[in-house]
């Protein structure tokens, strides 16, 4: 498996921390509750882009039905969970080779700002899930004068 990451030209130490946070989120999203088994290797590819007022998520979920996955927003976290069900019949006769993977998956992404969960929009077309995550309005800063003794 090849991983390609786009990097900015200048070194940004905070970018390293963001990458580390992403790796941690991915690890802990894969940890199942104690009554479930570990992931079977399903890990949908996800792309998140930032715009001025929102984040745009694209997730590749080929061959899945809309009812096979769900999304959730918790504060500044976007969570995608689902299950790709095996299509094979009980008779496994005739299979020479199979690389297709089946089973449950969970992906969680921590974003820099909170999401306005009431305004989230999602669509699923041609195996691609598209989610618009509007940023919560920023609280305006208040000016407080402090007396110094």
Predicted local distance difference test score (pLDDT) of residue 37: 45
For the chain, domain boundaries: 13-86+103-134
Mean pLDDT, residues 29-44? 59
- What is the number of other CB atoms lying within 10 angstroms of the CB of residue 95? 8
Predicted local distance difference test score (pLDDT) of residue 36: 43
Q: Is the pTM of this model over 0.75?
A: no
Predicted local distance difference test score (pLDDT) of residue 38: 47
Predicted local distance difference test score (pLDDT) of residue 18: 83
CATH 2.60.40.790 fits 13-86+103-134, yes or no: yes
> How many Å apart are CA 133 and CA 53, to the nearest integer?
9
Q: Which candidate, 38, 67, 55, 69, places its Cα nearest to that of 109?
A: 55
Q: Which residue did the predictor score with more confidence, 116 or 21?
A: 116
Q: What does the angle CA 58 – CA 5 – CA 99 come to, to the nearest 5 degrees?
A: 65
Q: Which candidate, 133, 134, 116, places its Cα nearest to that of 46?
A: 133
> How many Å apart are CA 100 and CA 61, to the nearest integer?
13
> How many Å apart are CA 123 and CA 61, to the nearest integer?
12
Predicted local distance difference test score (pLDDT) of residue 13: 77
Q: Buried b / exposed e across 128-143, counting CB within 10 Å, b at 16+?
A: ebebebbbeeeeeeee
Determine contact, residues 54/133, Cβ cutoff 8 Å: yes
Radius of gyration over alpha carbons of the chain, in Å?
20
Mean pLDDT, residues 76-98? 78
Mean pLDDT of the chain: 81
């Amino acid at each position: 498996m090849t991983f390609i990451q786009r990097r900015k030209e200048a070194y940004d130490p905070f970018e390293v921390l963001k990458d580390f946070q992403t790796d941690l989120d991915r690890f802990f999203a894969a940890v199942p509750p104690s009554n479930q088994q570990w992931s079977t290797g399903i890990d949908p590819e996800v792309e998140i882009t930032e715009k001025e007022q929102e984040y745009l998520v694209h997730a590749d979920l080929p061959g899945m039905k809309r009812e096979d996955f769900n999304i959730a927003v918790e504060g500044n976290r976007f969570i995608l969970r689902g299950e790709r069900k095996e299509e094979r019949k009980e008779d496994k006769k005739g299979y020479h080779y199979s690389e297709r993977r089946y089973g449950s998956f969970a992906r969680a992404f921590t974003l820099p700002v909170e999401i306005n969960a009431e305004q989230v929009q999602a669509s699923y077309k041609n195996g691609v899930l598209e989610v618009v995550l509007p940023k919560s309005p920023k609280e305006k800063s208040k000016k407080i004068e402090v007396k110094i003794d």
